[in-house]
Structure 1
Amino acid sequence: MTISRQSQRGLDWLNFFVADVQTGFGPFVAVYLTTQAWTEVQIGFALSLGTMTAMLSQVPAGALVDATRHKRRAAMGGLLGILLAAILLAAWPATLPVLLSEVLHGFASCVLTPSIAAISLALVGRAALGERLGRNTRFASLGGAIAAGVMGLIGTYLAPAAVFWLTAALTVPSLLALLSIRESDMAANVAALQSQAHAPRGRLRDLMLDRGILVFAGCALLFTLSNAAMLPLAGTAVTRAAGDEANLIIAGCIVVPQLIVAGISPWVGRLAQDQGRRVVLLMGFSMLPLRGLLLAVVQEPYMLLLVQALDGVSAATLNVMLPLTAADLTRGTNRFNLCMGFFGLAVGVGGTISTGLAGSVASWASPEMAFMMLGGIGLLCVLLTLLAMPETRPSLPADALAAD
């Protein structure tokens, strides 16, 4: 089936602008609340509430997206929720509105992410999903990198609240991009899925006990447990060594991986389609122990930029392979988004533990020991993939996959 250029481009720009919107809820929240005379304890509580909401919402939000036939409406609801959250932050930085904004953003994001993945699947079918997810990741990375720079300048030279007014404004092109995706282009794949009346919906208990799902969830948890704390820990060391140049180096450490992700993500998707999922997972996950080792021994601050390029490889792998593996493991069950929510929960748990654990080891022993520990966790991720993760790439011919 031929997909119109309009729908393909609409999905490209949807990913681009959604990344712009989500960037506004990163570190800028802490900076903004600091200018509003919030204490570190109050800021920490607000951010933790948002993180906890996102973690707890992963599975129910995925189930909600699975339950509706109207994936575009689900994505629209997520965008409108983020719009309201941004307006609350910008216009009313009091305690209750800020906490409500964090909760609203956490849940809306958990609806938006699987909705975009579901739209991608409906648009191109399973046979072309790998490359489509890579293209999604490319545009999201470009959007995030550009938005971080623009919002940093706006927050510095206009006003901290301007970041969130811009975030709210960027939901408008996001909605326009979403509406430009034609329902008719998704109809064939959606009809094929719905026509499989004989296919089991998949009991939740059976899904959660599936070997592939459990192993990949374990890999996702170990990935973020290893990865999340590496840059913050390296940033502390760079600040001590580089002084006034630290902000420039850290900014480069954020931008370089984003550019790598944008450059290689479609190739990662094609490789997963051609050579199988395990090859790509092993390639991407192997960057974690290597990066941990290099961060433990590298002393020159600017060398950190080269080390961070490895983060781009591993990030591209996880961003493409998480929804692709979920699609593989839930074929014919109508549990794709629920599975993505389960994987997202594993990612969130790993990331939440990572920074506290690494900080404790760095304080108790040394930063070098903390990097070695994080690299060791990354090695466990590689070994789990090598020894236990099944190959999930379907062996059916492409024409059968397109109708799956």
Structure 2
Amino acid sequence: MTAGRSRRGLDWLNFFVADVQTGFGPFVAVYLTTQAWTEVEIGFALSLGTLTAMISQLPAGALVDALRNKRLAAMLALLAIALSAVLLAALPHTLPVLVSEVLHGFASCVLTPSIAAISLALVGRAALGERLGRNSRYQALGGAVAAGVMGLVGTYVAPAAVFWLTAALTLPSLACLAMIRGEDLTQRAVPLVSKRESGGRVIDLLRQPGILVFSGCCLLFTLSNAAMLPLAASMVTRQTGEEANLIIAACLVVPQLVVAGLAPRFGRLAETRGRRLVLLIGFAMLPLRGTLLALVEHPLGLVLVQALDGVSAATLGVMLPLIAADLTRGSNRFNLCMGVFGLAVGLGGTFSTSLAGLVAGWLGAGVAFGMLGGIGLACLALAWIAMPETREPAPELAAARA
């Protein structure tokens, strides 16, 4: 009964955390524009937040590994995010906004591995895939609801109200965190971490072929994926004018609904059929999506193509922490490994939009989509050729091999 209460708390923690994080998306740029910030100033502030998040991936992961109380790490991260939202809403001046971006960037890098570590400690490795699928489902639903609510609040109340609402939503997040009992985590966490602390340094982790290959897959994934929707949004805006906002909103919500539907199934499939199969399904969507975006011009067709993004997002959302848990089995470096993968994701996303913009400007959007699809095909090929299966063999199969 108590474990069920903890699991429900984790479900809704993921829902409300997605709500909180949604406030720091495009709403920051809209809000700062209403405060008479220039595009250069807004770009610098957002870039500072992105850079902070990239730099913080490894130290934040190591910090969460070092803290025995993962719930405390998550609580402090939520409080820091609330403070950053209040700074944005109350003091939209240069220094407070920059401090807010830095604070949010680091806190987010602590919060994500903390929730993954809580999930691992709550259900154990054997059920982690399905648990991560549930996490992704609730995150997707929370993000979809928050995008609509915050859009309405920002439009009909005030732009700053988005960030007051973001800060307020940390309260139900903290309440859900409090529902997760420490006893439920301790009992399951004991057998998960042995005394052997192998792979303690980043260089030691990168010497493991699986970690190196999957880091390459993460980099290629976001290098291919991150620029597809922004490039499509620019194309749609030129074609449809004022209707573009509705089309882009649909392009954001539809993939979230796909994630909510598929993520738990992918988690179960990863546990029963292995990690590589799920990776190949998700990565195969990248070249397919790039090809279709180069060919499809009708707005409704664009929304349908974007549903494929939900398949890829469900794959990476579940598999990144699951493979990190597999590859750090027997050590206490789960969150550091997640930091390595997160850094690869950040690097790919950072270069994706710039590269696609240059190619689109020189050769046209169709060629840019083809290039992004080609990078996605390279990601699929790398996973097919070099990514090992990381699922632990079933006990009877392991005994037979011995």
TM-score band, normalised by the shorter chain? over 0.9
Other-structure match for 1:334: 332
Other-structure match for 1:110: 109
Other-structure match for 2:304: 306
Q: Which residue of 188, 200, 206 corresponds with 1:203?
A: 200
Other-structure match for 1:5: 4
Other-structure match for 2:183: 184
Kept after mapping to 2: 8 A contact 1:53/1:106: yes
Gaps of 5+ in 1: none
- Give the CA deviation at 1:4: 1.9
Partners of 2:33 and 2:95 in 1: CA distance: 16
Give the residue type in structure 1 aligned to 2:27.
F
Q: Which residue of 348, 351, 354 corresponds with 1:350?
A: 348
Other-structure match for 1:144: 143
Q: Is residue 2:208 matched to residue 1:217? A: no
Kept after mapping to 2: 8 A contact 1:86/1:168: yes
- Give the CA deviation at 1:3: 6.3
Give the residue type in structure 1 aligned to 2:52.
T
Other-structure match for 2:278: 280
Other-structure match for 1:87: 86
Kept after mapping to 2: 8 A contact 1:20/1:143: yes
Other-structure match for 1:38: 37
- Give the CA deviation at 1:201: 3.7
- Give the CA deviation at 1:193: 3.3
Superposed CA offset, 1:96-116 (max 9, x none): 000000000000000000000
Q: Is residue 2:124 matched to residue 1:125? A: yes
Superposed CA offset, 1:270-319 (max 9, x none): 00000000000000000000000000011211110110010000000000
Q: Secondary structure at the match of 1:57?
A: helix
Q: Secondary structure at the match of 1:109?
A: helix
Give the residue type in structure 2 aligned to 1:318.
L
- TM-score of the superposition, structure 1-length normalised? 0.96
- Give the CA deviation at 1:244: 2.2
Partners of 2:337 and 2:188 in 1: CA distance: 20
Partners of 1:85 and 1:232 in 2: CA distance: 26
Partners of 1:373 and 1:3 in 2: CA distance: 51
Moved more, 389-398 or 279-288: 389-398
- Give the CA deviation at 1:191: 2.1
Gaps of 5+ in 2: none
Superposed CA offset, 1:246-288 (max 9, x none): 1111110000000000011000000000000000000000000
Kept after mapping to 2: 8 A contact 1:328/1:392: yes
Identity %: 72
Q: Is residue 2:172 matched to residue 1:163? A: no
Other-structure match for 1:77: 76
Give the residue type in structure 1 aligned to 2:184.
D
Q: Secondary structure at the match of 2:92?
A: coil
After superposition, residues 20-35 of structure 1 pair within 5 angstroms as 20-35=19-34
Partners of 1:54 and 1:179 in 2: CA distance: 26
Partners of 2:266 and 2:290 in 1: CA distance: 22
Q: Which residue of 357, 361, 364 corresponds with 1:359?
A: 357
Partners of 2:55 and 2:207 in 1: CA distance: 20
Q: Secondary structure at the match of 1:286?
A: helix
- TM-score of the superposition, structure 2-length normalised? 0.97
Kept after mapping to 2: 8 A contact 1:79/1:175: yes
Kept after mapping to 1: 8 A contact 2:134/2:264: yes
Partners of 1:175 and 1:331 in 2: CA distance: 30
Give the residue type in structure 2 aligned to 1:200.
E
Instruction: Count residues with an aligned counterpart.
Output: 396
Partners of 1:225 and 1:185 in 2: CA distance: 39
Superposed CA offset, 1:334-393 (max 9, x none): 000000000000000000000000000000001000000000000000000000000000
Give the residue type in structure 1 aligned to 2:135.
N
- Give the CA deviation at 1:396: 4.2
Kept after mapping to 1: 8 A contact 2:124/2:192: no
Partners of 1:4 and 1:224 in 2: CA distance: 36
Partners of 1:379 and 1:241 in 2: CA distance: 29
Structure 1 ranges of 4+ moved more than 3 A: none
Give the residue type in structure 1 aligned to 2:223.
L
Q: Is residue 2:293 matched to residue 1:291? A: no
Kept after mapping to 2: 8 A contact 1:3/1:124: no
